[in-house]
Amino acid sequence: MLKRAQLSVSSRLEELSTVQQWFHTQIAILAAQAPWINEQFDQLNLALAEGFTNAVRHAHTGLPSSTPVEIELLVELQQIEIRIFDQGDRFDPNSLQEPQPGSLREGGYGWFLLRRLADQVTYEYIGDYTETDKKEKEERSFSPKRQRNCLRIVKTARVV
């Protein structure tokens, strides 16, 4: 693995610029080792933005804005994977109906856009977890469990 990086931000749309700056910095570091990623940067950046804003707007609806959205970046020579973790309710993206071409509606295009930008997109419930900060370790028996979901966005180098 060339690189693994993590970022945690609050569940606020204003954090998108922080997320994108972080991503740009990570990709710039890798440009010499995996130049194909530069060619895919715009698509990956758009996919990251769409995934993050979906977590904030949909998964975290009704949760405090301090609820973290966690992002992991895993980069190998021939593949990049972006993981976005949210604490929203379980969601089945296969239950969504794709908008008809030529139809106009507000919203509802994000999941389908993600599928076109990446080679593989999955969204799954990955279980309950308890925060591990010091205070919660001390109060573990009183700490509520939180559910956690993971959006995986995978892009692979094109062999020419």
The token pair that represents 35 in the structure block: 């130049």
Residue where the block lists tokens 């999955």: 122
Q: Closest Cα partner for 146 from 156, 136, 134?
A: 136
CATH number of the CATH domain containing 102? 3.30.565.10
88 φ/ψ sector (left φ>0, alpha ψ -120 to 50, else beta): beta
Q: For 91-148, how does the pLDDT look when each residue is reduced to its tens digit (9 = 90+)? A: 787 777 776 766 665 666 788 889 999 999 999 998 765 555 444 444 444 445 567 9
Domain that holds residue 112: 3-156
Asked if residue 50 has pLDDT above 70, the reply is yes
The structural domain count of the chain equals 1
* Lowest mean pLDDT segment, chosen from 40-54, 58-72, 80-94: 80-94
